[in-house]
Structure 1
Amino acid sequence: MFSTESVLTLDHADIYQDKKLILGNVSFQIQKGDFAYLIGRTGSGKTSLLKTLYADLWLQNGSGFVAGYKLEAMKPRDVPHLRRHIGIVFQDFQLFFDRTVEDNLKFVLKATGWKNKADMNNRIADVLMQVGLGTAQKKMPHQLSGGEQQRVVIARSMLNEPLILIADEPTGNLDPAVADQIMKVFQAINSAGTAVLMATHNYDLLNKYPARVLRCQDGQVVELLG
């Protein structure tokens, strides 16, 4: 029986990219406050799995449950609602380079239904403090280092207080010292109660910051027991 504390459950799920089966019969759970890595070679299905979790790819067989939403029953109109309850961090920052950090974050708040200006400003200040960028509101992205830009992306993903943060290679473009700093940000967010599922190629991180490990291999997802 699956736990009520689960923020993410896949049960005998088949992950497809177009009509090609990428991962078969996937079953695992992420509980509230869990931290789990997703590893595997390039092309092993990590990104397809993550895209299925935030409904960029449809779940065609099996069942999935993310932040209170059934993936197999999703309609296109449900996708924005699901994404309000999960945070997504990409490797390529996907920031608007023609507007300030504050305006990048405000765009997301407005798009997800926030109206009150004071509430928006307070929430933006909160998330930037959380990622150690308390004074960056008025800066343009090009004035920030790569690591600082990734912190803005993490702050953006935290705006709607997600139950789970899904991160696809968030340290992939960063040097080791900066990757370390980003990991500490994720750990702090996780310690405050947000579950984290992070796809990574960086095996140093797994040794330095041990957590659950799920591996995509030979068309399956297996949990590595420590």
Structure 2
Amino acid sequence: MVISVKNADIYQKEQLILSDVNFEVNEGEFVYLIGKTGSGKSSLLKTLYAELWLEKGQATVAGFDLHVLRKKDTPELRRKIGIVFQDFQLLTDRNVKKNLEFFLKAMGWKEKSQIDARVAEVLVQVDLPDVLQKMPHQLSGGEQQRISIARALLNHPQIIMADEPTGNLDPEKSLDILKLFMKINKESNTAVLMATHDLELIERFPRRTIFCDKGTVNDLTESL
């Protein structure tokens, strides 16, 4: 099991966003997290990758107990997970290769040959093997999101958490990104928890779905 949440309350500062949250994500599972804007999807994800602190309840992510996690141990948790954002969050002052190198070095990788090999591997995984020297602004939005997915894959994560990864993309590119997540999920058995409000994508490619609504979280799997 990669994620286990029991009786958790999710706060944004002092405001209660979601109460009594209970769900699990198993190894290799693909799960949608849906809900309207402001329903708590991002707050829940931020709690799971320890940007927000768990005040009440229990949650484990990639073997880490979030309720007792110390701030200094947060980087260790982040080494076990991959995070993909809506706005890509690439470093605009360096090319694709240096973006990915920077992340690996921050994760403790030191050997240049290993870094070079891993960068090449993840670019093949996201079908962009020839963009090493390109700057982010030279890439389309869909390509930039593929690079951010490559970055999330670098450290062989147990799970990728994606927060509205298609939110800035047109429908065609959104579909391409979803298919890429599903390919990665199938081929590498990496679990994926993907927050989205794009119901059309979910209808076309149904998977287990968790729904944030009115301060609660419900599993809609049986209704799909």
Q: Normalised by the shorter chain, which TM-score bucket?
A: over 0.9
Superposition TM-score, scaled by structure 2 size:
0.98
What residue number does 1:65 align with?
A: 60
Residue 82, structure 1, aligned to residue 91, structure 2: no
Amino acid in structure 1 at the alignment position of 2:36: R
Deviations 1:53-106 (A, max 9, x none): 000000010000000100001100010000010000000111111101000000
Aligned partner (choices 174, 192, 214) of residue 196 of structure 1 = 192
For 1:100 and 1:76, the matched residues in 2 are separated by 31
Give runs of aligned pairs for residues 109-128 of structure 1, distance below 5 A: 109-128=104-123
Q: For structure 1, list consecutive stretches of 5 or more residues without a partner in the other structure.
A: 1-5
Cα RMSD (Å): 0.6
What residue number does 1:219 align with?
A: 215
Note the C-alpha offset of 1:208: 1.2
For 2:23 and 2:216, the matched residues in 1 are separated by 11
Give runs of aligned pairs for residues 5-154 of structure 1, distance below 5 A: 6-154=1-149
For 1:123 and 1:209, the matched residues in 2 are separated by 30
Residue 176, structure 1, aligned to residue 177, structure 2: no
Amino acid in structure 1 at the alignment position of 2:86: Q
For 2:205 and 2:84, the matched residues in 1 are separated by 19
1:73 match: secondary structure: coil
For 2:96 and 2:44, the matched residues in 1 are separated by 30
Q: How many residues align?
A: 221
Amino acid in structure 1 at the alignment position of 2:198: N
1:51 match: secondary structure: helix
Deviations 1:114-135 (A, max 9, x none): 0000000000000000000001
For 2:54 and 2:182, the matched residues in 1 are separated by 29
Overall identity of the aligned pairs, in %: 56
Superposition TM-score, scaled by structure 1 size:
0.97
For 1:98 and 1:59, the matched residues in 2 are separated by 35
Deviations 1:124-179 (A, max 9, x none): 00000000000111111111100000000000000000000000000001011111
Q: For structure 2, list consecutive stretches of 5 or more residues without a partner in the other structure.
A: none
For 1:208 and 1:138, the matched residues in 2 are separated by 35
Note the C-alpha offset of 1:198: 0.4
Note the C-alpha offset of 1:201: 1.0
